[in-house]
Amino acid sequence: MTDPPFDPAHRARHWSEVYQGRDVETVSWYQPEPKASLQLMDALGVEPGQAVVDVGGGASLLVDRLLVRGFSDVTVLDISAEALAASRRRIGSDRRATWITQDLLSWQPRRQYDLWHDRAVFHFLTSDSEVDAYRMVLDRSLAADGAVVIGTFAPDGPTTCSGLPVARYDADGIASALGPRFAVVRRVRELHLTPGGTVQPFTWVALRHTVPRPRPGAEPHHYPVPMTLEGPYEPSPAAWVREQVEAYERSGGTEANTLRDTGLPIVIFTTVGRRSGKVRKTPVMRVEHGGEYALVASKGGAPAHPEWYHNLMADPDTVLLQDGPTPLPVRVRLVTGDERSVWWERAVAAYPPYADYQRATEREIPVFVASVID
């Protein structure tokens, strides 16, 4: 997992060209029947009343088969408009199907789903930052008692797919990449026969959330909007941080609103410790653009991520950000590729020492973008 992330613009161009003017039955991943997908959905007990999202669904026939089975809420997301157009031509205007043209890694889902299905998309993520971004989108999209079906190339499968390098997995590898909140329900090995007659071993895995996460007061399938964060407040052990937060909050952001004597503005964000449950407040440089804010996990160029990085990864929807009189609920997402580069330039423009911090560490400094939840 060390390859640099595949640039999002290249990714979009690549997949657009793959499907452009092509008979979708000739692509190597074409299958006339999505057997493993349906078998694992049955193993999970997914029912027609439940909402399904097929990420990187391309021109797959899974949506056709689900509609025939009576499913009434099937979303197909793909980076390639050409791929989705091929499916739409088959299906026509069926209101039970929703089509989203979008790069999965920067998707900001507006609702939640009971089943996340992914055949041969996860394996294209060959860098840690891409896998992190995938996990975050999955986390936001999946209902508290939701389930996941993922199929990737197996350890003895091909090393490339559609001319791109892939990561190969066994079932435990997929499960561990998704994190401890998922438990494996079923594993399947499939030998996929490509239209060209080649056999490709696939690993399939069905998983469920291990701990259902009840969201009190939340409408089903919609995000709750946290206005306050529950938990005991743990002021920073560093006196200057503690005092800055206290003065900023007391004055509604009119005092203590710069980094010490630099004159450069800060904002304060609040998270809940994923293990401790404690509420913590962190001042960071104010990097604002179009109403969104970058949160740069630089830790002054230290070798490891700051602790709050892990809290944001664990619960990106339970965050407050204060840039003025009141803290506002925000949703954060880890940005990658070109989007990270654009935000990184903004961050360095706002606070030039970030460039030194990046030079001082071997890790790529993670950048989150916080958007206010309406």
Ligand X SMILES: C[S@@+](CC[C@H](N)C(=O)[O-])C[C@H]1O[C@@H](n2cnc3c(N)ncnc32)[C@H](O)[C@@H]1O
Asked whether position 103 contacts ligand X by CB under 6 A, the answer is yes
Q: How far is the CB of 366 from ligand X (least distance, A)?
A: 19
- Rg of the chain over CA atoms, in angstroms? 22
Distance separating alpha carbons of residues 224 and 218, to the nearest angstrom: 5
Q: How far is the CB of 82 from ligand X (least distance, A)?
A: 9
Stretch of 119-127, 138-146, 279-287, 359-367 contacting ligand X, by CB under 6 A: 119-127
* Of 88 and 278, CB closest to ligand X: 88
Asked whether position 60 contacts ligand X by CB under 6 A, the answer is yes
Looking at residues 311 to 350 of the shown chain, list those that interact with ligand X (rule: CB under 6 A): none
Measured from the Cβ of residue 315, the count of other Cβ atoms closer than 10 Å reads 18
Q: For residue 116, how far is the Cα from the chain centroid? A: 12
Task: Give the residue, chosen from 51, 53, 79, 245, that forms a contact with ligand X under the rule CB under 6 A.
Answer: 79
Task: Give the residue, chosen from 5, 29, 66, 152, that forms a contact with ligand X under the rule CB under 6 A.
Answer: 29
The one-letter amino acid at 371: S
Measured from the Cβ of residue 123, the count of other Cβ atoms closer than 10 Å reads 25
* Of 152 and 322, CB closest to ligand X: 152
Helix (H) or strand (E) holding 171: helix 171-178
For residues 80 to 99, the per-residue mask of contacts with ligand X, x marking binding by CB under 6 A and - elsewhere, is x--x----------------
Asked whether position 135 contacts ligand X by CB under 6 A, the answer is no
Asked whether position 140 contacts ligand X by CB under 6 A, the answer is no
Stretch of 50-58, 87-95, 305-313, 316-324 contacting ligand X, by CB under 6 A: 50-58
| Per-position b or e across 145-175, b if 16+ CB within 10 A of its CB | ebbbbbbbbbeebbeebeeeebbbbbbebbb
Measured from the Cβ of residue 264, the count of other Cβ atoms closer than 10 Å reads 15
Distance separating alpha carbons of residues 260 and 151, to the nearest angstrom: 51
* Of 56 and 316, CB closest to ligand X: 56
Provide the binding-site residues for ligand X, judged by CB under 6 A.
11, 15, 29, 56-58, 60, 78-80, 83, 103-105, 119-121, 124, 161-162
